[in-house]
Every structure is written in structure tokens, then in C-alpha cells.
Amino acid sequence: MPSLSFDLTGRSILVTGGTSGIGLAIAQALLDAGAKVVVGSRSKEKVDQAAEALAADRPEGVVVAQQLDVAEPDSYAAAQARAVHEFGRLDVLVNCAGVNLKKPTLDITAEEHQRVFDINYFGPFYACQAFARHVIERGGIESGGGSIINVCSVTSFFGLSEVTTYAASKSALLGLTRQLAVEWPRLYGIRTNAIAPGFVPADQNREILKSGDRGRRILENTPMQRFGTPEEIAAAAVYLAAAAGRFVNGECINIDGGFMINGVSEAEPKDEV
């Protein structure tokens, strides 16, 4: 049997939330592996800037910028149509767009709760539906199927204080990943997997990590004693998109420096006042 490759040459991929942090790093890593990428985000200015940076020193036409609001199904449909128009087909969908909300649970409004779910769960749900329909139209299993990668969270597995809506939406996204992984491979040849980043400083969580002593306590309970980087998360996306990961289905790769398996361990003593 030939060796399984991490080479993504000839593969076309749509990355939502691809203008900063983990999303941008994923787009970069996929391009480095040879893929063609449509990078999408709500801000046209940010998506144009990201695409320009990603395209530097690369062949023309391998990066496409697309304004995209995942909370609007029509917006996602337009982004997918653009990917198919530019590249002829779409092979991989990466649902990375997300939003956080740190607030006491009793203070969360219905509008805030709905907005977080629209972006973190319903957006990916409708994107997965649209992606599957495209795969079916181009021949399903016979045309090579496809791969979906959902970016979940460590809060898909356990609770943290005052991020109830975020954790609930990311838990739902993990549930969606597992359900599609059972239903779609045999029908359409689509694998569905997830990545659960640990604590990686980014625009949506930087203030949360700085607030109070939460950041200190996270580091105390992370065996590797540091936060992660977007690039370390992105490497898993390459694996899941490539032939090397073709038998991986329904999994969630936790990339957290050992935080979730740490249990009770020695921690650095807090400085006495």
C-alpha cells in the first residue's frame, strides 16, 4: 500500500473565520500543504487583507477572499459557489468562525444567546448541509467525497464559569460532528471530524484569559505550562484534510497541552501578599 500523504495539492478548501488567529493559521497551513483556499470572514476589509497576506510569494489564484457571515445561510451559499466557480469543486470545509461571550448565565439575554448559537452552531450546521449537497451533485463517493473539519473547544467537554452560551454552542457542534460522521460516510463519502483547541490567546478570548487569575490557573493546570499557538492547532487541520487522515472519522483532536487530562496535580504556589 502506498504511503499516505499530507500533500493537499489539487484540493480546494473553504475556511470560515479565516482572517485572524486560528482560522488564519489554518488557511496558511493548508496553503503550505498545496491546497487552494477560499478564506471567508464578515469584514470585507479584514478578509481582503488576510487574502493578500496569504497570497504573498504564492502562485496566482490559489487564495480567494470572500466576505462571509456564517450566521446568514445565503452568505455561506455565496461563498461556496465562489469556491466552486474559482476552483471547479470544493473538497474540504473548515468551520472555524466563532464568537465567545463571558457573562453570568442569569444576565445573558435571549438575543445574545441566539447570536452565539447562530455563529457557533447554526452557521456550521447549514454550511455542512450545503457542502454535502455540493458533494452529492459532483458524484458523492465516486467523485472522492469530502471532509468537514469543525473547530470546537475544550468547553465541548467540560464547564468553565460564565461562558455558558459559548460552551453549550460548542458542545452542540461536537454533537453535530459525531452525528454526521455516522450518517454521511456511507452515503456520500464525507468524513466529519473536529479539533478542540485548548487555551490559545486570540481576539475573542484574550481579555478572558487576562481577567482575574483565570489565565494563571489555566497555566497551573496545563502540564506543558504555557498557552498554545494558532500554528499548533492548524497542523491538525492539515492531517484531517489530507489522505494521511482518510480513516479518521467522528474524532475530536484535543490540542491543549494536556489540560483536559491533568486532574489533580502540583501547581505553582500563589505568591503571598
What gap in Å lies between CA 108 and CA 102, rounded to an integer?
9
Grid cell in block for residue 172: 452542540
Active site residues: 166
DSSP 251: -
Specify whether the CB–CB gap between 230 and 170 falls below 8 A. no
Spell out the residues 6+ positions from residue 156 whose beta carbon is closer than 8 angstroms to its own: 167, 170, 171, 173, 174, 194, 196, 252
Of 1, 91, 74, 2, which is closest to residue 38 (Cα–Cα)? 91
Q: How far apart are CA 256 and CA 198, in angstroms?
A: 4
CA pair distance 39, 13, nearest whole angstrom: 9
Q: Contact at 8 Å (CB) between 200 and 233?
A: yes
CB 147 within 8 A of CB 190: yes
Amino acid in the structure at residue 265: S
Q: Which of 190, 149, 171, 181 is nearest to 250 (CA)?
A: 181
Whole-angstrom distance, CA of residue 251 vs CA of residue 259 = 18
Please tell me what DSSP assigns to residue 66: E
